[in-house]
Amino acid sequence: MTEIRTQKLTADAFAPYGDILDASGTPDKFINQGRCARHHDKATLDFSDGRAGISIFKGEKETLPLPLKLVERHPDGSQAFVPMSADPFLVVVARDEGGTPVDPIAFITEPGQAINFHRGTWHGVLTPLSEPGLFAVIDRIGDGPNLEEHWFEQEFTIVE
């Protein structure tokens, strides 16, 4: 069994897989009579067809160490996970090599971070590390399947 050590989620490390949604850096502008800093256009929603939809997911709390048995991807649309609490969550991604996920890596978000997976990115399932595990998920709503799963022959273990 191969161990995967978690790392801090940073824009540079996550860039090949998606976008980080947060309020870091200088705001693009101030709105609402100067009382609200706007960090504009932080993610690219990318859909082959259909439309963007917002769903609410409620996942069960997980703890580390955690086995990683499968990853999934959505070939027809990006997918954003926006926690509805200020709790960290686990984000797992893997490179694609000829249609197969390889070299999975694991990140733990900071409070106030959300993520948007690029279309076709291999990723782990929703993994809250705290209760209530409540997320807004923005993804493609459309006809036809938009999910591919890959079960690893060799299981990984994610550790802190």
The mean per-residue pLDDT over the stretch 104-115 comes to 97
Share of the chain above pLDDT 90, in %: 98
Q: Which amino acid is at 101?
A: P
Structural tokens at position 133: 């595990």
- As a whole number, the mean pLDDT across the chain is 97
Q: Given this model, what pLDDT does residue 50 score?
A: 96
The mean per-residue pLDDT over the stretch 72-83 comes to 98
Left (φ > 0), alpha (ψ -120 to 50) or beta: where does 31 sit? beta
Domain tally, the chain:
1
Burial 12-46 (b: 16+ CB within 10 A, else e): eebeebbbbbbeeeeeeeeeeeeeeeeeeebbebb
Q: Given this model, what pLDDT does residue 1 score?
A: 77
Across the chain, how many H-helices and E-strands are there?
A: 1, 14
Q: How far is it, in rounded angstroms, from Cα 32 to Cα 114?
A: 23
Q: Given this model, what pLDDT does residue 114 score?
A: 98
Q: What is the CATH number of the domain that holds 47?
A: 2.60.120.480
Q: Given this model, what pLDDT does residue 127 score?
A: 98
Q: Is the pLDDT of residue 53 over 80?
A: yes
Q: How far is it, in rounded angstroms, from Cα 19 to Cα 131?
A: 24
Q: Is the pLDDT of residue 96 over 80?
A: yes
Domain containing 36 equals 2-159
Q: Which 3 state secondary structure label does DSSP give 42? A: coil
Please, which residues bridge with residue 96 across strands?
A: 101
The mean per-residue pLDDT over the stretch 139-151 comes to 96
DSSP 15: T
pLDDT in tens, 111-136: 999 999 999 999 999 999 999 999 99
Please, which residues bridge with residue 151 across strands?
A: 70
Strand pairing class (79-83; 114-117): antiparallel
Q: Given this model, what pLDDT does residue 18 score?
A: 98
